Chain A
Amino acid sequence: MSLLERQDVRTGPLVRLESVSKSYGDLLALDRVSLAVQRGEFVCLLGASGCGKSTLLSLVAGLDQISGGTLDIGGRKVSLMFQEAALFPWLSVRGNVELPLRLQGVSRPERRKRAEELLGIVRLSGFSDKRPHELSGGMRQRVALARALAQNADILLMDEPFGALDAMTRDILHDELERIWREQSLTVLFVTHNVREAVRLGDRVILLSSRPGRVIEDYAITHERPRRIDSPEVSAQAGEITDRLRAEVARHAQ
């Protein structure tokens, strides 16, 4: 491989979709979706129900096969977080975070050290020996984030990770995620149906149509970070995107 090519690999997008389609039988879930996620970027996929945003994440995560087009993640590792923390109840908080390291064959002292570090990053030091059920929903999601980080993946996929949390907890977790994304230089592809959340977090917000899912708009969000979900700029831009989204939803009225 020439130096030029290697450079290209390093600077090119981490995730590249070109005209990706996905159908389940007769049902077309995604229709010629093209998008690229650059290294270090925080991209939000926004859409109403039936826009195939979760399908798209499953495709990128390799949990499902595309029906057409090109999906290229350059053989990079991905980790995926869901709306449910889905921690394993038979393991302690530390055990859950250590699990990806165990599967990678990391030695016991090393993975213990690394798990403590990761729990420190999500501000849960001191909770290592707790059981998942002893934690609140927000704390469980942070453990799930630490577990995802433990995979040491190049791309972090998040499927409405804060959808089931109350507003206060969600706001604080936005701050936390933004901080961790910055400190750890993460590349995030984040799915949500919450417009403000998308504008609050994303460098870009990609608006998808519903049934089938198509990219209808790619908004660049340039407001200075750290942002607040209730700041005038975030609200104004969220309002604009919401109008667009409602128009899209209204199209399905007949």
Chain B
Amino acid sequence: MPSKFPSARAGLEGTSGDSTAPVVEKVGVSPEAAEVAGLDALELQPQRDKGQRGKRIWKNTWPKLAAIAIVLLVWQIVVWAEWKPIYVLPSPETVFTDLGSVITTADFWDGVRVTMTRAFTGFLLAVVIGTIIGALVSQFAPLRAAIGSLITGLQTMPSIMWFPLAILLFQLSESAILFVVILGAAPSVANGLISGIDYVPRTWLRVGQVLGMRGVAKYRHLILPASLPSFISGLKQGWAFSWRSLMAGELLVIVPGALSIGVRMQQARDLSDSSLVICYIIVVLIIGILIDVLFNAADNALRRRWGLLSN
């Protein structure tokens, strides 16, 4: 190796402690090196000031708050207009008071625990199964011809269609619910992986070829990382399907002893307690949104790393 570079580099390394942008050492650098460094500095985008954190959060938050306010207002107006009797369509105030007292009971959190345990178990199983199927289908052409379109077909099946069969197969049990949750989510997961693998850019594949990647190394260093964004969207979609299937399942398949959110909602309906039914709708909505936020955070983090987001 030429001996002139380590010294120039030492200067750079000395300055790379706290600053975020690399600092170009000016002293003792050849004119050519200065030209290159100067051009680099000009071509790099200056770090734009993203503004204060509080301001940014507010900018993202107020439209959401406004939307909630409008929904509540419309709801209140409908109640005031006495379109339905007050015991059928309670006012927001009644519902939120009820919600406040429901979520402070240990019972309620037991129900959430039962439901979320099912959701995560079902989703994780769906991820494992979907990933294996996706990997196999993308790997073997005959398998793709055989079940490739079937996977997409399954994805469009309303999951509630599976319950009669699930109940016959597994009776009113956890297995019946998991069966349907997995059928709902696995196709999305598989499809995400398949399309991720299919659309690995050609130039990357050529690089892999030039670097001599084969077999396992090719998967480990190229195909899997390259298909990650698509895989994550598959996971996100899979979660949405499994959550929907689960809610349908909890209303239809009542497993003795497991007082899930769905069962509690069904009980509230049996007691004609509209307010409580709406409470559980809100709870399910909030859980859905929270999980979606997590997926979006993962998705955004990945896109930012890859430079697919502008900010």
User: Which residues of A pack against B, CB within 8 Å?
Assistant: 61, 63, 79-80, 82, 84, 86, 88-90, 99-100, 102-103, 116-117, 120-121, 123, 125-127, 130-139, 151, 168-169, 172, 175-176, 179, 183
Q: A88-B204, A126-B12 are in contact. Are A63 and B40 (CB under 8 A)?
A: no
Chain A interface, DSSP helix/strand/loop, else mixed: helix
Q: Is B146 an interface residue (CB 8 A)?
A: no
User: Which residues of B pack against A, CB within 8 Å?
Assistant: 1-2, 5-6, 8-9, 12-13, 15-16, 22-24, 32-33, 35-37, 39-40, 43-44, 201, 203-204, 206-207, 209-213, 217, 221-222, 225-226, 228, 305-308
Complex partner residue of A86 from B2, B15, B204, B213, CB under 8 angstroms? B204
In Å, the complex CA distance between A88 and B228 comes to 12
Q: A63-B206, A103-B217, A136-B44 are in contact. Are A90 and B13 (CB under 8 A)?
A: no
Q: What are 26 contact pairs spanning A and B, CB under 8 A?
A: A61-B210, A63-B206, A63-B209, A80-B206, A80-B210, A84-B203, A86-B204, A86-B207, A88-B207, A88-B222, A88-B226, A89-B308, A90-B306, A103-B212, A116-B9, A125-B9, A126-B12, A126-B22, A132-B307, A133-B307, A135-B44, A138-B40, A138-B43, A151-B210, A172-B36, A175-B35
- Please state if B33 and A123 are interface contacts (CB–CB under 8 Å): yes
- Please state if B210 and A139 are interface contacts (CB–CB under 8 Å): no
Shortest beta-carbon distance from B60 to chain A in Å: 24
- Please state if A169 and B39 are interface contacts (CB–CB under 8 Å): yes
Chain B interface, DSSP helix/strand/loop, else mixed: helix
9 closest A-B pairs (Cβ-Cβ)? A133-B307, A136-B43, A126-B22, A89-B306, A120-B5, A126-B12, A86-B203, A90-B225, A125-B9
- Please state if A103 and B211 are interface contacts (CB–CB under 8 Å): yes
In Å, the complex CA distance between A116 and B43 comes to 22
New A-B pairs, 10, CB < 8 Å, besides A61-B210, A126-B24: A82-B203, A82-B207, A89-B306, A103-B213, A117-B1, A121-B2, A123-B37, A125-B13, A126-B9, A151-B210
**Set of chain A residues within 8 Å of B203, measured between Cβ atoms:** 82, 84, 86
**Set of chain A residues within 8 Å of B33, measured between Cβ atoms:** 123
